[in-house]
Structure 1
Amino acid sequence: MPYCLNPSCQKPNNPEGCRFCMNCGKNLQLKGLYEAIALIGQGGMGRTFRAVDRGRLGQPCAIKQFLPQFREAQLMEKAIALFESEAAQLKALGSHPQIPELIAYFEEEGCLYLVQELIEGENLYNELQSQGIFSEAKIYQLLEEILPVLQFIHDRQVIHRDIKPDNIVRKKEKGKRKRTKSQSQIPNSPQNNLVLVDFGAAKAFTTDTAGRTGTLIGSAEYVAPEQARGKAVPQSDLYSLGVTCIHLLTGISPFDLYDDVSDRWIWREKLQAPISSHLANILDRLLARAIANRYRSANEVLQDLSSLVNLSSAIAPRSSDYPQHYTQTYVQIRQLQELLSLGQWQESDRLTNKIILELADKPKIAEITADDIDNIACDVWMAIDQAWMEFSNNHFGWSTQKQIWQSIGGKLIYNEDTYWEFANIYEKFSDRIGWRRPRWLNLGLSPKVWRKYENLIFAIASPRGHLPSLFFWEGFNLVDIVLYRLEICRQSREKL
């Protein structure tokens, strides 16, 4: 139903098909093309409407109507400049899938209007209120999706100057299949679905004779120190993004995450759940008060996100064939790397087991099938194996176990007819890597008995190939299947 844009109209809703407001007589179509249908937001600078573009076969769009609540000449001049700046910056940036497209900008009957792409979805501030604090996985996703947008605008000499949860919108996904409860906790997005909005504060890098890029613009909770002094630089957006992340991680106002007495951020002390030191260190550098101590560019942050032992190539999704985005798994793999780097072998073994169980959606390893193994992405198998190999200097890991398995005559494919051959090789394999021990000490011919899991040797001094163990410990029949899957993945990677 057409909605009248006359601010004084007492009955703005009109029947379908009306060209003029039945209450005040105003033309309901701007430029004969853009028709508002519902008010979706308003503030001190104006109103925003859901609308349709009749020139584009009724395609949805958004109309921003400039309607400031003040009349002081100086403030009005500045407000008009900001409104016009948004149109200019959107036009300069051109087309980007994560920035609203500018459709039109014009004046009509004494009012300024901006028509742009309608972004259907919820901003991250509202998402925080409705769903609670963000997980580490969601923060990784936020950084991985928004940093390229910042690099895009910075390359075009534009500073956003108002990065905050309210200005990052998660687009609704059209035609999306219903997800299970476990899947809904993981961002499902091979394609980016976070959009950076509200370029009203954006400004080009142009400076005046005093070297300023403009007066203080932005939201006080998120603004960088230099921007507060009227000297915004591209790194100011990175600072605000860091503040956005710690707000979403803690659910606490950034004002309460900085201690003025000690002059330092205390966000780590406010976390409800621990996060990896990898992410924490990245956020601390984004939040550095001195520009020289901050990242130089959004690309540099992206490089750091995947720099841990240079496993980015193993952790990045390569194929759209996999229906589930592995963001949570990548976080777990980073955690695995940290545990391994500290020599926490048993904790690493348990986490390896947990990752596979969650991806297979099974409560126990013994319930996992060959199909489950095949359905887990090669990137995951290779990332886990590479982490074990890297931090143990090739002493542990599935690749090491595969070498031992094949050295004693083990094959990578067995079937039901060759089960006893497999069982015989499995016992020899277990003896070689120390999962079985003699029943009596000092007797070479003593029968072997299986160690209990808690009695395995969780130290680098254990036999070669001793770890990871828990996965094969509970699902011994999967040894050849997993080693074969790893070989197939390796061959596929070499062909790329």
Structure 2
Amino acid sequence: MLGNLLDGRYQVLQVLGGGGFGQTYIARDTHRPGSPKCVVKHLKPVTHNPEFLETARRLFTSEAEILEQLGHHDQIPRLLAYFEEQQEFFLVQEFIDGRSLAAELLPGQRWTEDQVMQLLHQVLEVLKFIHSQNVIHRDIKPENIIRRQVDSKLVLIDFGAVKQIQSQLLTALGHMATTIAIGTPGYMSTEQGRGKPRPNSDIYSLGIICIQALTGMHPRQLEEDLETGEIVWQHLTNVSPGMATVLSKMVLHHFRERYQSATDVLEALRQINTAINPVIQAPHLTQPSQNTILSQEQYNRLENILLEIVGPVARTLLRKVTASAPNSQTIIDNLAHHLPGHQQIELKKRTTFLIEETQVNPASQPVNLPATSSSQIINDSFIRQCERDLAELIGPIAAFLVQKAIKTSPQISRTELVQTLAVHITDPQKAQQFQQRLLA
């Protein structure tokens, strides 16, 4: 198959995998400028019986229409084309350049609760969208969540359209539909294992991934209560009671006892944040400490590197971390603590100069951090305005993001807060309008 030209334009570069009567390839679109990569999913019917082929064609077209609709979401690959060739069926989707979550969930390495919270919010928003389209993903696992290289957003891939068509075609051939399970052992709920997935089957899978991140253990290593069938995991990690409660409810054995929708989980997370962050009295904010071992030049270089890696939140994060760090190594370690695995690697690789320079010249001149002017003071009214304006653009998660930004850096200025929040607005024009409106 390698090198073949499908539909006269898609040149197969690599076979990603497959089995039965379906395969997935990485291909090059020779008709587009630069011949960009794409993903091709190939469905091979097991028989060329005319009635069977007509059923396959109808199901295939229906699934393509669903994928076309889902691709309107920024964190779902777009459907580029679908076609039939020699009585075989092909779906062409956008190729997402990045790395899968599986590369970040390393055995024995535990994520922080903040990192898991970010994962939850991003993926739950995607699930909220696909479930509103009456679609169940059916195969939520680390390999199917890609951190996009260009902006570090999490993208949900492989909606199992080909696998779903296969199961329906097997049913048409006389197999029992309830015996055909789509999913991955360890991440698959009981009802999904019986071939009867529900929207909160996806929520179960996401909860399992979060528990894997917090414990550093693969789902198959986790124990179950012999009497209840529930997963026993909380003793393996240090997690807040609120987060433990939410995750445990996401992965309950019986689907009726779990959260029934992604919206329900997001609301539970919002309540956790509200409990942790009651109304903040901004006038009591203190000035940032100036006790740092970095020279002004080193501080500026580090800030620029961090801006390239994480965006506008860099200034807030750097101010917080450098305030009381005793040495440059601690600064880098503390910064890395707030970043996902791949960003940690990039940060450490690009900041070796800092360790070397401070070892050679430990008596660096301290940096004087700018004070917050009165016009930049954040009060309750401004906080509520940020929450309202952001909620109009991204939904209920806005309140959580505003409070989290303030919690992360109590010294944050108005400008820094607004820039930090704007990162979460996917439409660049709306993000710019958001900033202009709040900072006018």
Give the alignment's TM-score, normalised by structure 1.
Answer: 0.52
Deviations 1:244-286 (A, max 9, x none): 2112322323233232424332111233xx1222222210111
1:114 to 86, 91, 104: 91
> Do structure 1's residue 49 and structure 2's residue 30 form an aligned pair?
no
Matches of 2:263 and 2:41, distance apart in 1: 32
Question: Residue 160 of structure 1 corresponds to which residue in structure 2?
Answer: 137
CA pair 368-277 structure 1, distance change in 2 beyond 3 A: farther
Give the deviation of 1:198 after TM superposition: 1.0
Would you say the 8 A contact 1:162–1:217 is kept in 2?
yes
Question: Residue 299 of structure 1 corresponds to which residue in structure 2?
Answer: 263
Question: Residue 363 of structure 1 corresponds to which residue in structure 2?
Answer: 326
Matches of 1:153 and 1:487, distance apart in 2: 35
Would you say the 8 A contact 2:107–2:217 is kept in 1?
no
2:12 to 36, 42, 45: 36
Matches of 1:164 and 1:495, distance apart in 2: 41
> Do structure 1's residue 276 and structure 2's residue 240 form an aligned pair?
yes
Matches of 1:490 and 1:329, distance apart in 2: 10
Question: Residue 251 of structure 1 corresponds to which residue in structure 2?
Answer: 216
Q: Single out whichever of 485-494 and 257-266 deviates more from structure 2.
A: 485-494
Matches of 1:192 and 1:214, distance apart in 2: 38
Q: Single out whichever of 102-111 and 124-133 deviates more from structure 2.
A: 124-133
1:197 to 138, 157, 160: 157
Give the deviation of 1:64 after TM superposition: 2.3
CA pair 490-153 structure 1, distance change in 2 beyond 3 A: closer
Question: Residue 9 of structure 1 corresponds to which residue in structure 2?
Answer: none
Deviations 1:84-140 (A, max 9, x none): 775343124242211111111222134322211011222112332489443323211
Which segments of 5 or more consecutive residues in structure 2 lack a partner in the other structure?
Answer: 172-176, 281-305, 332-364, 384-408, 419-434
> Do structure 1's residue 224 and structure 2's residue 189 form an aligned pair?
yes
Q: How does 1:227-376 map to 2 (within 5 A)?
A: 227-263=192-228, 264-271=230-237, 274-307=238-271, 308-309=273-274, 311=277, 324=310, 357-358=320-321, 360=323, 362-363=325-326, 369-371=368-370
Would you say the 8 A contact 2:138–2:182 is kept in 1?
yes
Q: Single out whichever of 152-161 and 254-263 deviates more from structure 2.
A: 254-263
CA pair 133-88 structure 1, distance change in 2 beyond 3 A: farther
Give the deviation of 1:145 after TM superposition: 0.9
Q: Secondary structure at the match of 1:163?
A: coil
Deviations 1:456-483 (A, max 9, x none): xxxxxxxxxxxxxxx9xxxxxxxxxx99
Which segments of 5 or more consecutive residues in structure 1 lack a partner in the other structure?
Answer: 6-11, 14-27, 174-190, 315-320, 331-353, 387-470, 472-481
Would you say the 8 A contact 1:145–1:192 is kept in 2?
no
Percent identity over the alignment is 35
| AA of the residue aligned to 2:157 | V
Q: Secondary structure at the match of 2:83?
A: strand
Would you say the 8 A contact 1:169–1:195 is kept in 2?
yes
Matches of 1:329 and 1:155, distance apart in 2: 37
Give the deviation of 1:224 after TM superposition: 1.9
CA pair 196-329 structure 1, distance change in 2 beyond 3 A: farther
Q: Secondary structure at the match of 2:146?
A: strand
- RMSD across aligned positions (CA): 4.8
Question: Residue 344 of structure 2 corresponds to which residue in structure 1?
Answer: none
Matches of 2:241 and 2:314, distance apart in 1: 16
Question: Residue 416 of structure 1 corresponds to which residue in structure 2?
Answer: none
Q: How does 1:16-31 map to 2 (within 5 A)?
A: 28-31=4-7
Would you say the 8 A contact 1:91–1:102 is kept in 2?
yes
CA pair 313-55 structure 1, distance change in 2 beyond 3 A: farther
Question: Residue 343 of structure 2 corresponds to which residue in structure 1?
Answer: none
Question: Residue 138 of structure 1 corresponds to which residue in structure 2?
Answer: 115
Name which structure has the greater RCO, CA cutoff 8 Å, separation 6+.
2
Q: Secondary structure at the match of 2:118?
A: helix
Give the alignment's TM-score, normalised by structure 2.
Answer: 0.57
Would you say the 8 A contact 2:42–2:89 is kept in 1?
yes
Matches of 1:358 and 1:61, distance apart in 2: 41
Deviations 1:189-245 (A, max 9, x none): xx66111111116879x9x9xxx9995321231222232334322111111111121
Would you say the 8 A contact 2:81–2:91 is kept in 1?
yes
Give the deviation of 1:143 after TM superposition: 0.8
Would you say the 8 A contact 2:108–2:217 is kept in 1?
no
Q: Single out whichever of 82-91 and 245-254 deviates more from structure 2.
A: 82-91
> Do structure 1's residue 123 and structure 2's residue 87 form an aligned pair?
no
Matches of 1:488 and 1:124, distance apart in 2: 32
| AA of the residue aligned to 1:237 | D
Deviations 1:425-465 (A, max 9, x none): xxxxxxxxxxxxxxxxxxxxxxxxxxxxxxxxxxxxxxxxx
Would you say the 8 A contact 1:382–1:489 is kept in 2?
no
Would you say the 8 A contact 1:137–1:328 is kept in 2?
no
Deviations 1:10-58 (A, max 9, x none): xx45xxxxxxxxxxxxxx4222222223334455554433222233222
Q: Secondary structure at the match of 1:134?
A: coil
Would you say the 8 A contact 2:71–2:77 is kept in 1?
no
Matches of 2:256 and 2:185, distance apart in 1: 22
Q: Secondary structure at the match of 2:28?
A: strand
Matches of 1:370 and 1:100, distance apart in 2: 42
Q: How does 1:483-494 map to 2 (within 5 A)?
A: none
Question: Residue 337 of structure 1 corresponds to which residue in structure 2?
Answer: none
Would you say the 8 A contact 1:214–1:232 is kept in 2?
no
